[in-house]
Amino acid sequence: MQKKNEKLLDKIVKKDYNNELERVLEKKPFAENVKSILLSILYKLETSYKDYKQVKQDVVSKEELIENIIYVIENECDEIKLVKPHSKESEIIGDRTFLVEKRKKRIICYNIERKVLYCLAKISKRNKIIKDNYFVVSKTLSDLINVGACINQVEPLRDFNGYSWTTIPKEIESITHNLIYQNLLLLVENTFMNKWINNKEFVMDYMELFQNRLEKLYGKKDAEDLIELLKEISVYLEIKFDKRAKGKMLKQKEVVKKELEQMQDNVAFVEKITEEKRKLTSEIKTIDETINNKHLLEEEYKRRNEILPLEEKIFSMRVLAKMMVNEREEKLERMEKLNKLLNPQKYVAYKKELEEKNKYLSLVDTEDLDGEINKLKLKIQKLFIKCFDKKIQKCDSKQDMLKLIYEFRYYMMLPYDYKHDIYETKDLQKEVEAETKKILEKAYELKVIERFSKQEDVNYELLKYIFQNRNINIEDIEVKLIREKGKEKGKDNYFIQVFDGNGVGEKREMPNSENMDKKDLAIRFNKKVKAFY
């Protein structure tokens, strides 16, 4: 009962997040320009949130959004430094616009609000959110999802200003990461993705939970296909955006390839395992002797520090001893794995694991990186639309239908590349048109949208612009079918005008108007009518 009263009190007494942030900033050694930009970000998020939620529907609560940002500033940022482009101070970040150093709890960034917010999102994310047993893609998929989540967190500040919804593709850190992350949000919902990216423990296998959720909602085949596409594109994106990734993967590929070749000869493979076990045994013995002998530990401390760069030097012999204990544990784990490999069943499983690794590492050899990314991105969008159609089919209430209309409109307005939104993308025209017609048909049945004609194509032409506009409140949209006398006698011209909530309307020519049966129209010419009931 007490908890219920506390929640009710929270709703009645509005929190003053500005004062809360100021309290946190008083304890931080940030420059005044840093404090100012953080307070400005918070104010703009509060101002824009209502429109952001209306447009996108399924989002984190305003309280959680803002409280998370304040928590990150308080607990995960010891230093935030704003620099000007091409200045002496900006040399540390090179040709980038920001630098996030999680270990040092430090952010160095251009004096741009959306960049600072992106850095706050990035510094709070764990580097890996997928277990190591997914091999190569554990890191690449983790990076794909984390980058998408960071871009998503900036959206209410970047695209909403309290008056309008505007997306400028050049302001998005990565169009492809953002598009894929928004696909996932729409498919498995915000709550699931939020738990996944903020999960601090590796107790639960979220990749397995993700697959189970997809299978339950969209079927096993579509779930498996989507996950495979995500794995492949994650590898390509890793290579594209991380210059060092390709070199690392090529080295891994050679090691895996060599090991697979050795496994073809069982005798040679057993000999290799025996030799590695002998080497590990010797190394573990050396570690034990060093840790238990002060003189040997001191020599090891000097030896290691002589070859380490300044920023990686070991602080003390005590720290070195802890490091060596960890190294010993790793070697023991490797020894245990090698022992298992001598078991025929484990041998087969390990070979399968290597083949899986090789499958994704081989993607590194592609010559047309952007071409492969574009092919996979297109496949993901077509599969997304197919899955979204299943959501429409299951919908059976006006409230849920309206929510899905908002979500599909949001999807249609997502940038596909730097020149086109989804609805403008030629390679998706067929799928987009078919899905729009299905959504409209369902909306007529549930009495969410008015049916203006018995002809499906006429309805589509009149109402498709519902999904191609940036009006905050989609229910405010009005439609006018205009008839004007043509130059030729007895021939009229027809136009469609779609109005937003402010009465501003864009006039477009009605295509294929010669096939329109005037008797089937349930809309008067030259009169504005609401599209929604």
519 and 417 in a common domain: yes
Q: Which of 72, 103, 124 is the last residue of a domain?
A: 124
Determine the Cα–Cα distance for residues 192 and 206; give it in Å rounded to an integer.
9
Residue in 315, 320, 312 with CA at minimum distance from that of residue 290: 320
**How many CB atoms sit inside 10 A of residue 439's CB?**
25
Rounded to the nearest 10 degrees, the angle between the axes of helix 175-188 and helix 136-159 is 90
Q: Which residue has the higher pLDDT, 337 or 250?
A: 250
Q: Is residue 441 part of a domain?
A: yes
401 and 518 in a common domain: yes
422 and 513 in a common domain: yes
408 and 327 in a common domain: no
Residue 496 CB-half CA count within 13 A: 21
Q: Is residue 226 part of a domain?
A: no
Whole-number average pLDDT of the chain: 92
Q: Is residue 210 part of a domain?
A: no
Q: Is residue 417 part of a domain?
A: yes
Q: Is residue 262 part of a domain?
A: yes
Please write down the long-range contacts of 202-211, taking CB distance under 8 Å and 24 or more positions apart.
202/131, 205/131, 206/129, 206/130, 207/130, 207/131, 207/134, 207/141
Q: Is residue 268 part of a domain?
A: yes
* pLDDT, position 148: 98
Q: Which residue has the tokens 């554990």?
A: 138
* pLDDT, position 14: 55
What percentage of residues in the chain have a pLDDT greater than 70? 97
526 and 416 in a common domain: yes
Model confidence, pTM: 0.85
Q: Which of 302, 318, 342 is the last residue of a domain?
A: 342
410 and 330 in a common domain: no
Residue 204 CB-half CA count within 13 A: 11
Q: Can you give the residue range of the structural domain that contains 405?
A: 395-530
481 and 419 in a common domain: yes
31 and 114 in a common domain: yes
* pLDDT, position 5: 53
When divided into structural domains, the chain yields a total of 3
Q: Is residue 111 part of a domain?
A: yes
Q: Residues 6 or more apart from 166 whose CB is under 8 A from it?
A: 159, 470
- Tell me: the pLDDT tens digits for 271-327? 888 999 999 999 999 999 999 999 999 999 999 998 888 778 888 999 999 999 999
Q: Which of 342, 370, 387 is the last residue of a domain?
A: 342
* pLDDT, position 12: 40
Beta bridge partners, 508, equal: 496
- Tell me: the pLDDT tens digits for 131-180? 988 989 999 999 999 999 999 999 999 999 999 999 999 999 999 999 99
468 and 400 in a common domain: yes
pLDDT average, residue stretch 511-524:
83
Q: Is residue 97 part of a domain?
A: yes
Determine the Cα–Cα distance for residues 476 and 455; give it in Å rounded to an integer.
24
